[in-house]
Amino acid sequence: MLSSRHFFVAGTDTDVGKTLVACGILKAAEARGLRTLAIKPVAAGAENTAEGLRNQDAVMLMAAMTETLPYSQVNPVPLEPPIAPHIAAEQVGKRVTVSQLAGLCRGAMMQAADLVLIEGAGGWRVPLNRHELLSGLAVELQAPVILVVGMKLGCINHALLTADAIRADGLRIAAWVANQIDPQMSCFDENLSALKAMLGAPCLGVVPHFSDVDLTLEAVGAHLDITNL
């Protein structure tokens, strides 16, 4: 049976900070005494290591969660090419399906935890193969969605279109997070206010643009209030 507190972490685009925000949520949950797990079912952009293919996002999630899982369960489908998952899979001769990933996720989620995050790849409508989208995994798992909004020019349009697509798939947006990926964004406060008024879901917080010196997963988590999850 799936955890009663399992969420799919989606982004308004690629490179909007899904992993960073997911790790912050995990650390915020740990600070509340919760046991946490995270899964990155498919990840394109993996490096060859002595232990096999390793994706940096999955490694970050493993460092942030409290429970222990082998890498093969956290990231069961690592793909070496740093491109869209369906193209990366084709290039290495793999076929990845929603049902396959759902089974792998359910296997990992058999381990007891209070909070489980399943992190997607790219945006909501990223293809998984020529017939399925990765968003189908969230639908298969019936996972409420935590939406990471990359705060930059155009973010309102991206966020509202993504929210419409999530709801059209029959899923609930449990919450969203504003991640300040562009420190020079004009009218940041006005954009944030519009998103809070229009997204129709609670905002867990605003993750500021961190310098390399100040960035820690605990610091990210300190900006997030997970009470509403």
Identify whether 29 is part of a domain: yes
Mean pLDDT of the region 95-103: 97
Considering the candidates 40, 94, 152, 196, report the single residue annotated as catalytic.
40
The reply to whether 94 belongs to the active site is no
4 pLDDT higher than 70: no
Identify whether 123 is part of a domain: yes
Identify whether 175 is part of a domain: yes
Identify whether 1 is part of a domain: no
Number of domains present in the structure of the chain: 1
Distances (CA, A) of 29 to 32, 34, 88, 214, 223: 5, 5, 33, 21, 12
Token pair recorded at residue 39: 């899964």
228 pLDDT higher than 90: no
- Single pTM value for the model: 0.96
Binding residues: 15-20, 57, 119-122, 179-180
Binding residues for ATP: 15-20, 57, 119-122, 179-180
Mean pLDDT of the region 44-56: 95
Identify whether 149 is part of a domain: yes
The tens digit of pLDDT for each residue in 116-170 reads 999 999 999 999 999 999 999 999 999 999 999 999 999 999 999 999 999 999 9
Identify whether 110 is part of a domain: yes
Binding residues for Mg(2+): 19, 57, 119
Q: Structural domain of residue 97, as residue ranges? A: 6-228
Distances (CA, A) of 14 to 55, 66, 120, 122, 193: 15, 26, 10, 4, 23
Contacting residues for 143 by C-beta, under 8 A, at least 6 apart: 2, 6, 7, 8, 118, 171
3 pLDDT higher than 50: no
Identify whether 92 is part of a domain: yes
CATH number, residue 140: 3.40.50.300
Share of the chain above pLDDT 90, in %: 95
Give the helix ranges, DSSP H, for the chain: 18-31, 56-64, 71-74, 85-91, 98-108, 135-141, 155-168, 188-198, 217-221
191 pLDDT higher than 70: yes
The tens digit of pLDDT for each residue in 68-84 reads 999 999 999 999 999 99
Residue 209, SS3 per DSSP = coil
